[in-house]
């Protein structure tokens, strides 16, 4: 794994990122640094089940999640705003594109809703420079283990062979964080997943219940020839990763610590490194589910 992590650790910029220790560990800093995305509200709502099998989530016009509630009464993302979304880096040019609900990179064309139904919505989005097309299909999976399935297809329209980083980010914040002002929890990750949760541990300082939310890769990216590597990771920041320096900086220029976060403020990401010929697409499959 270290060899893969090192691939995504570029040299530091000429100026150091600003100190962030206090910012990343306080709820007040979490709120004060957010610049709202103008389209971060609920546009496409999906609900299923009841009680332990209940799930409610809403998709914005940009293809991010505005909330995720499961089981009934336990909100997993929306705590005075929801940090969730996607990022893309075109490695050769350093082009960086992201939308994480609290803000975006400002270099996107308007999103296009391709189809909408009671169970899913399909949204296309391209950057202003036309270097790729991102198509997202977000589907409701009902039943005893409800989930929001997210299929992301990235098509290279740059005119040449290119390497891309594609990522999905979430600030997992289950239960009562906004009402209590305590956003601290535990974050961890594996090859296929990233998650945040409140442990069932008597001295844990959060007043929220013992719940969690996982972002899980559920199938091998396709076609296999396009995939260099993929994995989940977590880090000590509310903000989403800088798409072209995902293990070094968040979008605010802070330099978080990558790795397990215990009793702190953090986020998780599943990241894919893809190599695409011109007009070639790669598809990844993920899901959100509560636990």
CATH code where residue 47 lies: 2.70.98
φ and ψ of 239, to 5 deg? -75, 155
Predicted pLDDT at 34: 36
Predicted pLDDT at 213: 98
Cα–Cα dist 221/219, whole Å: 6
Predicted pLDDT at 207: 78
Query: Which residues on neighbouring strands pair with residue 57, listed in sequence order?
Result: 46, 68
Q: How many CB atoms lie within 10 A of CB 84?
A: 30
Q: How many CB atoms lie within 10 A of CB 112?
A: 13
CA nearest neighbour of 48 among 139, 175, 176: 139
Query: Which residues on neighbouring strands pair with residue 137, listed in sequence order?
Result: 122, 151
For 129, the token pair is 């420079």
Predicted pLDDT at 116: 97
Predicted pLDDT at 31: 34
Predicted pLDDT at 227: 97
φ and ψ of 224, to 5 deg? -55, -30
Tokens 């990401």 identify what position?
269
For 192, the token pair is 């296929």
Q: Residues 286, 150: contact at Cβ < 8 Å?
A: yes
Q: Compute the CA torsion angle 124, 57, 42, 154 (nearest 10 deg).
A: -10
The 55-59 sheet, strands edge to edge: 44-48, 55-59, 65-69
| DSSP H/E element including 31 | helix 27-32
Question: Going along the chain, which residue ranges are E strands?
Answer: 44-48, 55-59, 65-69, 84-90, 95-99, 112-116, 120-125, 132-141, 147-156, 162-170, 185-189, 193-197, 212-217, 227-235, 261-264, 267-276, 281-290
Predicted pLDDT at 155: 98
Predicted pLDDT at 128: 97
Give me the number of domains the chain comprises.
Answer: 1
Q: Where would I find the H helices in the chain? A: 2-7, 27-32, 177-180
Predicted pLDDT at 41: 84
Predicted pLDDT at 9: 37
Tokens 């100190």 identify what position?
19
Global pTM? 0.86
DSSP designation for 240: P
Q: How many CB atoms lie within 10 A of CB 182?
A: 16
Domain extent at residue 42: 2-290
Blockwise average pLDDT, block size 10, the chain, 291 residues: 41 33 34 40 95 97 97 95 97 97 96 98 98 98 97 97 98 91 93 95 81 97 97 97 98 97 95 98 98 95
Q: Residues 140, 121: contact at Cβ < 8 Å?
A: no
Distance in Å from the first CA to the final CA of the chain: 27
């Amino acid at each position: 794994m270290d060899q893969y992590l090192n691939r995504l650790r570029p040299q530091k910029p000429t100026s150091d990122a600003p100190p962030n220790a206090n910012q990343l560990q306080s709820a007040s800093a979490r709120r004060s640094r957010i610049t709202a995305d103008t389209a971060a509200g609920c546009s496409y709502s999906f609900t299923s089940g009841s009680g332990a099998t209940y799930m409610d989530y809403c998709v914005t016009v940009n293809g991010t999640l505005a909330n995720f509630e499961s089981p009934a009464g336990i909100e997993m993302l929306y705590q005075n705003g929801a940090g969730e979304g996607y990022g893309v880096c075109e490695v050769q040019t350093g082009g960086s594109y992201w939308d994480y609900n609290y803000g975006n990179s400002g270099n996107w064309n308007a999103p296009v809703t391709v189809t909408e139904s009671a169970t899913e919505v399909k949204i296309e989005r391209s950057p202003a420079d036309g270097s790729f097309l991102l198509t997202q299909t977000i589907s409701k999976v009902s039943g005893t283990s409800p989930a929001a399935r997210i299929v992301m297809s990235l098509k290279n329209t740059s005119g040449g062979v290119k390497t891309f980083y594609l990522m999905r980010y979430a600030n997992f914040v289950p239960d009562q964080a906004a009402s209590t002002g305590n956003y601290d929890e535990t974050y961890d990750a594996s090859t296929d997943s990233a998650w945040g949760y409140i442990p069932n541990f008597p001295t844990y300082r959060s007043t929220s219940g013992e719940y969690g939310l996982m972002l899980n890769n559920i199938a091998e990216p396709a076609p296999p020839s396009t995939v260099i590597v993929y994995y989940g990771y977590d880090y000590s920041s509310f903000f989403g990763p800088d798409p072209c320096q995902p293990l070094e900086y968040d979008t605010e220029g802070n330099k978080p610590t990558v790795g397990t976060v215990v009793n702190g403020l953090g986020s998780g990401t599943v990241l894919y490194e893809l190599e695409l010929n011109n007009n070639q697409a790669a598809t990844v499959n993920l899901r959100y589910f509560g636990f």
